[in-house]
Structures are given as structure tokens and as C-alpha cells.
Amino acid sequence: MIIYGALVIPIVAAIYLYLYHREEVQIWKFAVILVFGFGCVIGSKFLVQKVATSDTEYWTGWATVTEYYERWDERVPCVHETCTTTSTNSDGSTNKSCTKDHAYDVDDHPPYWQIVDSNGITVRVGEDDYSGLVKRWGKGPRFVDLNRHYHSIDGDKYVADWPGTDETLEAVTTSHTYENRVQASTSVFNFPEVENPKALGLFDYPGIGGHYTMASILGPSVPGKPEAERKLSLANAKLGRMKQVRMWILIFKDQPSDVAYQQEAYWKRGNKNEFVLVIGIDTKNNLQWAYPFSWTEVESLKIGARNFLEEKKGEQLDLVAVVDWLKDNVAKTWVRKQFKDFSYLTVEPPTWAVVLAYIANIIVTAGISIWAVMNRYTDKPRFDFGGFRSRGRYR
């Protein structure tokens, strides 16, 4: 609430202008200074709150169609003005005669490629992605005439459909923002900031690569990892929309189980749709410990996952078996936490944001004040037509 202290700035500015520049500043300009100043403070408060509570989650689905839109062009109406000098005045200025020609330009639309995923989201991809999918899906693309009103290049589109088999399923990950009030609050549900996450070897979110691909298993290479990654991607794709979930497996090699708690704090228990299973192995890839975390209120799922892995403690990590257990049990029991449950949490802007709001308010108020003084208005009329006088002018 300290941010509202910045409301004093436009009031102080108005008082200053009243005391020292009363003649130059009209009455309505004071209203402009106060209204803009107040608006700036309130706008800053809401903007900072929006930024602080904004978080990114990842949705997973699968490509249902891939499309290629050919290059095409079209006419667009436009007006071109042509001016010619007709005469020169005694003071050197010229008189011009202008005509407006109604014509057209040609807009060129380059080709592009895209996929539409099972969540109904369209993702632009590269030509190679399109070609690769068409090849994997077997059937050649079908031609669709778009009946465009083209100029000289008639571009249409080609569409290839997913044949519906697991082998040809292409997982698609897209990022979306949502409101996460917990991360910006001082609530008991929030986590302390983790210092030096890189030094601790904690994982960042890997990011979406190649337009729509995101790994689901992070950590060192272990036997069976590629197969497990493919299976988990498939499971994430299929359960993504139906169960609103994204599963992660994070593997730490030769680290104590404390690192899992640090990872939980670093990711602030993950996004609202995530189930994260952290696994510790020794240098010979033998399972040492497991720790799942998630915002889901289905505690039995977390305990079940941990118990499943604890029974295999000391054995070689079988990632494929872990993925099989995860997809079966998540499909059966997962329920996503509704983050609207946290709507009661208030968000106090961080100190840097308060300072920024004050600085922005000072700049805006100073700018308007300078404009108000410099852009003076004089009572001296521009014209005097006998009895009629204009009421004043800017100079």
C-alpha cells in the first residue's frame, strides 16, 4: 500500500505550480496534472500486480493436422497523390496543384506452415517440420482450394491429417500465462527464494524447442531414457487436455535427497497443472530416493509414487516402468488444483516496483508540469475585430 504514497507527488506539483507559476498555468492544467498523476499511481499498482502474479504453464497435446499455405498476392486499393508546382509567389513560396489517383498496390503474402494441436491451438512451424510430419503420417497431403481473390499468384493450401496411431503421434507443447498469486504473496504456501540454483544443480524449465517440442525427463542419461521420454511425451499429450496435467521426471545423480526440496522451492511446487517426480540415483544408476511434488490435493498419488519407487531402492532405475506407473495412476486419480482457491491472497508489490512507480510518477508529473508552464496561454488576443476579440492564444 506504500505505493499509494506516490499520490502526494501530483499534489505537491500542483501546489508548487500554484505558488510559483500561477500566471502561466491555466486552471484546467491543474486538473490534468492531478488526474494523470493519480491515474499513473493506480495504473502502476495494477500493472505491477499483473506482472508479479503472471506465471507460465505448459499445455501438452498432439498435432492433429499440419497445413502448408502457399505464397499468394492480392491487390489492395490505395490513393496516390501527385503534386506539380503551378506558380511562384513574390516571397519565394510556391503554389502547387495536386491530383489524387486511385490505383492499387500488390501485397505479397509469403508461404507459411503450421500445425493445429488437439487443444485447438495453432502453432507456426518450419517447412522441415511440415515435411517431416507429412512423411511420418504416410498419406500425402490433400489439396484445398482457398478461392482467393489473387492478383497473379494463386496460393492455396495443403493439409495432412494425423492417422490416429501412437507411433505417428507428435506431442505438441504450448506455453500459456495464468495468475499465480502464491508466488507473489507472503503466504505460508509460498517458498523462500533459492540462492544459487545453478550451483546446487537445480533444473530450470527447459523451454520449448523447435516450435513445439519440450522434454519431460530432465537429468543425466540413464538406460532407457529415450524410450521413457517418448512414452512420457505420449502420456502428457493424451492426458494433457483430458486431465489438465503435465508430468515431469527430474533425475539427480549422486546428490542427497535435500536437493529435491530445493528443487520444489525453486519451482515453487511447479505450475498448477504439474506433477513432478524427483528421483535420486547413485553413480551406478541405482535408485536412492524419490520425492514427488505437486499442487494437487490428491495426496495418495504423491505417496503412491514415492512408495512405488522406495520399494525399488537400490535397484537399477527402470525409467520405463516409472513412466508406466505414472501414466496409469495419474490417469486414474489426478485432479488439478484450482488456483482460484488462492484468490484471497493479497499481493504487495516488491520494493523495486514501488521505487519504479514513484520514479514513473515523478517523471510523468514533471513532464506534464513542464508542458503546463512552457505551453503558456496569454490573455492578449490574436485578433481584434472592433467589438469582437478572440479570447486569447497560445504563444
Partner 1 sequence: MNSKGIFIFIVAIVLLGLVGGGSYISYKNDHVRVHNLAEAQQKANEVTYDKVWKIIQQQAGVTSEYKDSFKEVFLAMTQARYQGDSDNLLMKWVQENNPTFDSSLFKQLSSSIEAQRNEFANEQKKLLSVKQEHDNLVGTFPGSLFLDSAPLEVKIVTSTKTEATFATGKEDDVDLFKK
Between 93 and 343, whose beta carbon lies closer to partner 1? Answer: 343
By rule CB under 8 A, what count of residues binds partner 1? 30
Residue 186 found at the interface with partner 1 (CB under 8 A): yes
Residue 360 found at the interface with partner 1 (CB under 8 A): no
Return the range that interacts with partner 1 (CB under 8 A); candidates 9-17, 58-66, 199-207, 275-283: 9-17
Q: Cβ-count burial of 105 within 10 angstroms (0-12 exposed, 13-18 middle, 19+ buried)?
A: exposed
Tell me the closest approach of the beta carbon of residue 352 to partner 1, in angstroms.
Answer: 20
Residue 297 found at the interface with partner 1 (CB under 8 A): yes
| Of residues 191-220, those binding partner 1 (CB under 8 A) | none
Phi, psi (5° rounding) for residue 326? -60, -50
Helix (H, G, I), strand (E, B) or coil at 87: strand
Between 271 and 296, whose beta carbon lies closer to partner 1? Answer: 296
Residue 335 found at the interface with partner 1 (CB under 8 A): no
Residue 303 found at the interface with partner 1 (CB under 8 A): yes
Residue 22 found at the interface with partner 1 (CB under 8 A): yes
Between 34 and 356, whose beta carbon lies closer to partner 1? Answer: 34
At residue 205's C-alpha, the angle toward residues 200 and 207, to 5°, is: 140
Residue 38 found at the interface with partner 1 (CB under 8 A): yes
Residue 42 found at the interface with partner 1 (CB under 8 A): yes
Rounded to an integer, what distance in angstroms lies between the CA atom of residue 353 and that of residue 135?
Answer: 51
The CA-atom distances, in angstroms, between 167 and each of 61, 142, 227, 233 are: 15, 21, 12, 12
Picking from 363, 354, 273, 376, the residue whose alpha carbon sits closest to that of residue 1 is 354
Tell me the closest approach of the beta carbon of residue 277 to partner 1, in angstroms.
Answer: 16
Phi, psi (5° rounding) for residue 133? -65, -40
Return the range that interacts with partner 1 (CB under 8 A); candidates 31-39, 50-58, 237-245, 386-394: 31-39
Q: For residue 114, give the amino acid letter.
A: Q
The single residue among 21, 24, 34, 215 that binds partner 1, judged by CB under 8 A, is 34
**Segment (H or E) for 251:** strand 246-253
Rounded to an integer, what distance in angstroms lies between the CA atom of residue 326 and that of residue 252?
Answer: 18
Return the range that interacts with partner 1 (CB under 8 A); candidates 24-32, 159-167, 194-202, 204-212: 24-32
Residue 20 found at the interface with partner 1 (CB under 8 A): no
Taking a C-beta distance cutoff of 8 angstroms, is the pair 219, 252 a contact?
yes
Residue 27 found at the interface with partner 1 (CB under 8 A): yes
Alpha helices in the chain (DSSP H): 8-20, 27-53, 127-136, 197-200, 225-243, 258-266, 299-310, 319-333, 351-374
Tell me the closest approach of the beta carbon of residue 356 to partner 1, in angstroms.
Answer: 20
Give the residues lining the site for partner 1 (CB under 8 A). 1, 4, 7, 11, 14-15, 18, 22, 27, 30-31, 34-35, 38, 42, 186-189, 297, 299-300, 302-304, 307, 341, 344-346
